[in-house]
Amino acid sequence: MELTERLARERRARLAAERLLEQRTRELSTANQRLALHARALSDQIVEQRAQTRFALSEAETLKGQNSRYQQDLQRVRGAVAMAETRLWESLDAIRDGFAVFDSGLNLIVANRAYCASFGGLRVEPGMSYRFLLETLLARELIEIGGEDPARWLDRMMNRLDLDPIPPATLHFTEGFWVRLADRRARDGDLASLAVNTTEQMRIRAAIEAIADGFVLFDREDRLQFCNQSYRDIYAASAPALQPGTTFEEILRYGLRIGQYPDAVGREEEWLAERMREHRGLSALGEHQAEDGRWIRSIDKATPDGGRVGLRMDITQLRAQAEALETARRQAEAANRAKSAFLANMSHEIRTPMNGVVGMAELLCDTGLNDEQRLFAETIRSSGEALLVIINDVLDYSKIEAERLTLHPEPFDLERTIHEVVMLLQPRARARGLDLMIDYDVLLPTRFVGDPGRLRQVLTNLIGNAVKFTETGHVLTRVVGIETGPGSRQLHVTIEDTGIGIPPEHLDRIFGEFNQVEDERNRKFEGTGLGLTITRRLIEHMGGTVWVDSAPGKGSSFGFRLTLDLAEAADPIRPPVTIRSALVVDDRFINRTILERQLTPCGIEVVLCRSGAEALAAVEAGGRFDIVLTDHEMPGMDGVTLAERLRAAGLTMPILLLSSSPTQARAHESAGLLDAIMQKPLLRAELYARLREFTEDLPEPQPEPEAPAPPPLSKARQMRVLAAEDNMTNQLVFRKMLRDLDLDLAFASNGREALALWESFAPDLIFMDISMPEMDGKEAARRIRAAESERAGPEAGGGRPVPIIALTAHAMEGDAEAILAAGIDLYMTKPLRKAAILKALADHCPADARLSTASAADVAPAGVDTG
């Protein structure tokens, strides 16, 4: 059983297994079929996948290649950036200025080496804050903050970082250097900080601070850049406004607000505009008084960049010194004037006794003397006169120095004055054979208003010098004039000579005091060396200028320029009409030219000849002349011989001989040969007068205004002359001088006597000494005038007032006015000259009196040969 059962079970089991197998096989086959389907689908998929994978793979390969290139590029870029960064920092490290970057929290990120080294011994490291940096500088006392509270300073330094732009700040290190911090915010909030060592600039600033003068610098926008303490001290009231960056206008406005400028009150804007104009005008130099009373000199200059730099100097002391100097100068000048006045008085006192010396010597010469005595007397006279010239120079000079010289302008004839001066010098020139010439511009009027006495003095000195320093040749005085207005002319007067000349090194001081050219050539000439000084001062006193030009060995030319008013309407030249042609003979070119210029404007045709021979040839060639003007002394044939030859040829026209020595010519001339002998140089008016004489059919020529009518010869009575003079010597001199005249002469010894004699003697002319005892000459004259006007009351017919001529040694100015104010007509200064007294007598001889003398010729008007 067991076995069967077991077998049964086994068969059942086998059957079941076989059924299961069968079922499984079926399932498997189904599954296989499905699998095969799936496998097919899968393999399709795989094929596709594979294709895709292959594509993806190839794509990946490409990308991989690209990627590695990118990687390489990136690598290179990174390298370059790193390199640049290194270079940048190396460069930043290399520069002298410090550079650092702080983050927005103001902690240091990075700094170059200079920045780290900028803060003295302090170690600056990344991470350190800006504040900590400053705190440490303070704590270690590495910097100087000029007495400011450290906490406040720190706040100020930090607070500035909030401003935009951040104002720079300068740290002054105790070690003696300065660092300027210039900070700036970056866009991301970082702070870039620049630290520049400004020690050099600060040294200059410190130096500018140290100078005593105020210094200020404005930039081109007129903003204050810098000013030192001295400047602040000068403008103390405005000092608070003197902050860097403030404009000039703001500073002024500040001053206006605090009422600093009194002259601006009420017109502030106008004042400001004025000041700004001045400021822009850069008034280069000015002086003003500062608020504290100091005197300040300002110098302002533009800087090359358009700004302005100014200096303010305290010149208080300088001004005080200058004032002290000025006072001292005034005192010295006053002392000098006092000395000059003393000198003037002295020289004037000396003149009085000189009157006796010269006058007596002159008289002595007129007496019967043997040759030796005459020599002595002449020597006394000439020495006395030489001494007088010197005294006169000293007197004039002293008067000018003492400022006591006044001019007495009056109408006078300039041409005649020059002529008179030349005539007086003629004898001296003649002795040397010098030719004196005058070339007076023919179109220039001759009458002007000026001080004839002083002009004569100038001319005498210049022409006299020319004669003195010229051995041979000529001295030419030339006058030309320029019209400066309807009634005035600017005159140019030059005196040319052909003398020794003046070395150039002496020319510029020739017009100075006491200057004489010292060399062997002119040591023989005497003189005071004052003549030219007086000349210059006189001309300058008249508003003119003097000059000199000279070539040593060739000659000199002195000149002056002067503007004078015309004394009358420009006088027309009155041509001596009917003379149509003239033959002029002179060996000197200048003389020929002068004559030609004087004759041509009269409508005369002039033929010029250089010698007698040429003149004869001109006549022989058929020339017809209405008149011949010939020089006297000429080489070859002289003027007298020429006249003889002309007459011998049967010619009858008038012949005028022009001579430097008419007396000599007259001695040689045979009667009727010459129609006139004229003294050279010719006075134009006289030449014209002579020509008029030879002119027929002309109305009577007007008499020359200057020529006094000669006194008629036979008159009823003697002329009565009263001389008041207390000094016995002078009375004697006077008496002797007049002894040749047929006069009724009375003397008074003082004013009182003079007054009495005026009553009893009824003089035609009174010579009145001024300083006399009891009653002086001025008082006597006053009383005479008073009595005269009483007599000439309405009922009485009254007499002519008696001419009174003062005789005075009082040549000082002021005296002249006082003398004339006393009713005196004229005054003469002592020592008296015979010629002057004779002229006065001739001038004042009344119609019913006679003035007959042996020496009447002496009384002739100026222009005669006085030599």
Would you tell me which residues interact with ligand ADP (CB under 6 A)? Answer: 461, 465-466, 469, 497, 499-502, 510, 515-517, 522, 527-533, 556
Query: Angle 660-665-669 (CA atoms, 0-180°, nearest 5)?
Result: 160
Q: Least distance (Å) from ligand ADP to the CB of residue 610?
A: 28
Give least dist CB 546 to ligand ADP, A.
11
- Could you tell me the smallest distance in angstroms from the CB atom of residue 384 to ligand ADP? 17
| CB 805, CB 824: distance < 8 Å | yes
Question: Least distance to ligand ADP from the beta carbon of 556, Å?
Answer: 4
Contacts of 233 (CB under 8 A, 6+ apart): 214, 239
- What order of strands is seen across the sheet that includes strand 655-659? 605-609, 581-585, 627-631, 655-659, 676-679
Q: Residue 801: enclosing H or E segment and its boundaries?
A: none
CA 559 – CA 578 distance, rounded (Å): 38
Beta strands in 713-810 (DSSP E): 717-724, 743-748, 765-769, 804-808
For the CB of residue 527, give the shortest distance to ligand ADP in the complex, in Å. Answer: 2
For residues 225 and 217, the answer to whether their CB atoms sit within 8 Å is yes
d(CA 826, CA 410): 14
Minimum CB separation of residue 390 from ligand ADP in Å reads: 8
Helix ranges restricted to H, 198-315: 199-210, 229-234, 248-257, 268-281
Q: Which is nearer to ligand ADP, 500 or 770 (CB)?
A: 500
Backbone dihedral angles phi then psi of residue 288, each to the nearest 5 degrees? -150, 165
Residue 23 or residue 472: which is nearer to ligand ADP going by CB?
Answer: 472
Q: Where are the beta strands (DSSP E) in 353-498?
A: 410-413, 435-440, 447-450, 474-485, 488-497
Angle value at C-alpha 9, between 5 and 13, nearest 5 degrees: 170
The distance of closest approach from Cβ of residue 331 to ligand ADP in the complex, given in angstroms and rounded to an integer, is 29
In angstroms, what is the minimal distance from the CB of 414 to ligand ADP? 21
Per DSSP, 247 falls in state B
Asked if 128 and 115 touch (Cβ cutoff 8 Å), the reply is no
Name the residue nearer to ligand ADP (CB basis): 537 or 680.
537
Distance CA(291)–CA(87), nearest Å, equals: 60
**Closest CB to ligand ADP among 115 and 397?**
397
Q: What single letter denotes the amino acid at residue 397?
A: Y
Which strand (E) or helix (H) includes residue 367?
Answer: none
Q: How far is the CB of 505 from ligand ADP (least distance, A)?
A: 12
Q: Which is nearer to ligand ADP, 429 or 595 (CB)?
A: 429
Cβ(771)–Cβ(733) below 8 Å: no
Residue 490 phi, psi (nearest 5) = -90, 120
Position of minimal CB gap to ligand ADP = 527
Q: Could you tell me the smallest distance in angstroms from the CB atom of residue 405 to ligand ADP?
A: 17
Q: Which amino acid is at 33?
A: Q
CB of 761 to ligand ADP, least distance (A): 45
